[in-house]
Every structure is written in C-alpha cells, then in structure tokens.
A = this chain, B = another copy of it.
Amino acid sequence: MSREDALARDAADPLAAFRGSVVRHDPELIYLDGNSLGMLPVATRDRLAHVIDDEWGGELIRGWHHWFDLPGAVGDRLGTTLLGADAGQVLVCDTITVNLFKLAWAAMAARPGRRVIVTDARNFPTDRYVLQGVAEHRGGSVRFVDTDPVHGIDAGTLAGALDDDVALVELSHVDYRSGVLADLPALTRLVHDCGALMLWDLAHSAGAVPIDLDQHGVDLAVGCSYKYLNAGPGAPGFLYVNRPLVEQLESPIRGWWGQRDPFDMDLPYQPAPGIARFLSGSQSVPGLYAVDSGIDSLETAGLPALRAKSMALTSYLVDLADEWLVPLGFQLRSPRDSQRRGGHVVLAHPDAHRIGVAAVRDALVVPDVRPPDLIRLAPVPLTTSYTDVYDGLMRIRELVAAGGHEAHDVSSLRVT
C-alpha cells in the first residue's frame, strides 16, 4: 500500500498513455466521477471545433446530406464496437429517457394481452417513472421487485415476479447505487421463458463492461453517452432493437425522420423499415460527432483491456478503502468480487454528503454522492491511473481523519 507500488502499477499499465488523451485544466484534480460525466477527450474538443466552424459554419444546409445518416452510422459503430450488436440495430438519438419511453411503449403494444411491466424497486428514478407512465397510459401497472442493493437482482427473485401477464421486464445492467453487474444472459433467458420482452438500461455499463446484446438475444436496450462514452453534458442517448423484433414494433412518437420516405412530404405515416422507425426529429449534430469521437479511444484501447484495467483499479480502490477508510466509518456497498461490479465502487458513510463536498472543494478529489449516505468512486480505466486512486483515497482519508468535512454546509446543494 505504498505510493511506489501505485507508480509501479502505472508503469506496467498498457493503457497508461490514454490518461493524456483528455483535457486537464488542473493537473492536481483527481476526477473519479466519469460514471456521471466523462472527461473531455482532446480529440473531441478539436473535432467539435471543426464540426461547428467548418461543417455548420461552412457547409450550412448542405451538411445535412451527410449529417442525416449520423444517428444510424454512429449507432452502428457503437453497436459493433461496444454493445455486441450487428449493424442496423442501434440508433444514437434523443435522450435515454425519451428512448426508454419509446421502447417500453412499443414493447407493451407488441404484447397486447399482457399488462404488467416488471422492474427493480431500486432502479434509477427515470426508469421507474417512465415505466409507470407507460404502464398507466396503457391501462396496466408496474410490478416492483425488491432486491438487495449490493447483491442486485438474482434469477430466483425475478422468477417470482414473472407470469403470463408480464409484457416487459426492464432492468439496469449496472446498478447506479452499488455498481453491481446484473447477470444479463441468465435474466434475459428467464424473461423470454415467460414470453415477455427484455429491455436493458445500459447507462452505467456501455463502454465500461463487455456487452453482447445479439449473442444473448436481448430484445431492447437504451443507454446514454455522457458517462463512459465521454460525449459531454447532455449528449445523446441511444437505443437498440433486436432485428427480428423491429418490424413488430412502432414508435409512439411519429416524426418525419421515422417515416418510410422522409422526403416525400405528402405521404400518410408509415414507419420506416428497420430501426429507423425509432427516429423522430432532427438530432444534435455536434452531439452525434461527440459520441463518434468518444468511441474512437475506447475502440483503440479495446474493451477487454479496458475491462481488465477497470477490475484491477476498482479492486485496488477497494483494498485501499478497507485499509484507510473503513476505520473512519466507511462501509463498502459494492460487491467484493470484481467480476460482479461495473466501473464504479460505492462506499457508505453517515456524513457522505459533507465528505463529497469537502473532497471537491478542499481536497481536489471529485467523487459523487447519492442520498442518503453513498459516495460513488469511478476510476475510469481510460483516464485514471493507479496513482490517481492512491492519491485520491489518501486525500479523502486525510480529510475525514482531520474532520475537514464537518464545517461544510450542504443544505442548499444539489446532488448530481
């Protein structure tokens, strides 16, 4: 547990060079929140400057001749590189919220005799809210499954919630509070056994862990690009629909981009063939290029190498936390087995909110906090070194040991 050991790990890290691929205004800042908002790749900054100045500013309306294909083209790249999805099944568009609405709606409509959506009672609020809205609008309801937050949802628990009234099961692949990684293959099979459709929320897993949507016959998935894909604040979401299923589904939001022939403006609505039917209106061109650029580094590094380093980093973080932070009142709220974790580690502390704020303000370490008592730490393999983890945890240890967090007023702060 020496700093020399951390430096030695960095010296042996085949991905070490990527740490310099992102913008760093403050070299002292240790950023452990890439699971909320990924850092800015230098290449993305430069590409967006080009897209804005030369493409928008120079091509003007003529740019749409090639921009028009971006949601599908970037979607294909995302799918084949990071999601285990062949071309023609992924779109980068809208937000994860809107995409979840579209797919959940379409799934309910495709299972007309069934009126129930099953999800995790501890799922991210948007998931629970959107699903309840869709179920209510269609005269159905949501069945919430109570799970242990650290262990996550297991096959036995889910099986108890399934019957032939279930149209759709929606779960998060990586839990936002604990980082636990769901058993996607086994749970998908279980859902199919009861005749329902399976929708995975990949918000905390896309770009962080290997995902094989096609191989496991996943029906539907949604995700966002502002976390591990490093596409920036509010960058577009994405959606996946398994090819054999797509012609049975229709988007509830019918825009002209999802029409069979968007440029014949006299037609009545007919959904486009394939995945394009889930497009609605014009998408952010800079946002789409930012996703494309974010994929570049992940593709070059390779997902297996990223996952290997991610597991090593989170294990190293857990070891340091055991040694330094548990004696100060912290508790691990993520699985101990790195195979069961996504890209972030969660610690609980009764004073989590003050510690999070003090860490950012006084110690130049950026975790994030989630009510009531959770601190999330994401050592993102592309941009975080072992020394960052060592220094970051040491700073938090020293801060809390000295009581440096106690004076912070957090009453008016938002948690993001």
A: residues with CB less than 8 A from B are 22-23, 25-26, 31, 33, 36-37, 39-40, 45, 48-49, 52-58, 60-65, 67-68, 94-98, 101, 124-126, 128-130, 132-133, 137, 224, 226, 232-237, 252-257, 259, 262-269, 280-288, 360, 366, 368, 370-371, 413-416
Contacts and interface: CB of A to CB of B under 8 A. Distances in A.
A125 B256 contact: yes
B281 A416 contact: no
A67 B137 contact: no
Nearest to A138: B137
B45 A33 contact: no
Given A124-B256, A360-B62, A233 B282 contact: yes
A124 B361 CA distance: 51
Nearest to A230: B56
Contact of A285 (B224, B234, B371): B234
Contacts of A52: 40, 45, 48-49, 232
A371 B263 contact: yes
A225 to B, nearest CB: 10
Given A45-B57, A56-B233, A416 B68 contact: yes
Contacts of A283: 95, 234
25 contacts: A25-B54, A26-B58, A37-B61, A39-B57, A40-B53, A40-B56, A45-B53, A48-B286, A49-B49, A64-B416, A94-B94, A97-B253, A97-B281, A125-B259, A125-B265, A128-B269, A129-B256, A130-B253, A233-B284, A233-B285, A234-B285, A234-B286, A263-B371, A263-B414, A263-B416
A269 B97 CA distance: 14
Contacts of A266: 371
B60 A31 contact: yes
Contact of A226 (B23, B268, B282): B282
What is the oligomeric copy number?
Answer: 2
Contacts of A257: 97
A414 B262 CA distance: 9
A58 B282 CA distance: 29
A105 to B, nearest CB: 8
A45 B63 CA distance: 17
A237 B384 CA distance: 36
Given A23-B57, A265-B371, 17 more contacts: A31-B60, A48-B48, A56-B233, A62-B360, A62-B366, A64-B414, A65-B414, A95-B282, A98-B280, A124-B256, A126-B255, A126-B281, A132-B268, A137-B252, A233-B285, A234-B282, A286-B286
A68 B414 contact: yes
Nearest to A24: B57
Given A256-B124, A265-B371, A40 B61 contact: no
A62 B356 CA distance: 12
A281 B64 contact: no
A103 B22 CA distance: 40
A266 B370 CA distance: 11
B285 A232 contact: yes
B94 A95 contact: yes
A23 B137 contact: no
Contacts of A416: 61, 64-65, 68, 263
Nearest to A69: B414
Nearest to A263: B415
A55 B282 CA distance: 25
Contacts of A49: 49, 52
Contact of A98 (B253, B256, B368): B253
Nearest to A415: B263
Across the A-B interface, give the 8 residue pairs with the lowest CB-CB distance, nearest first.
A97-B281, A23-B57, A40-B57, A129-B254, A233-B285, A97-B255, A95-B281, A64-B416
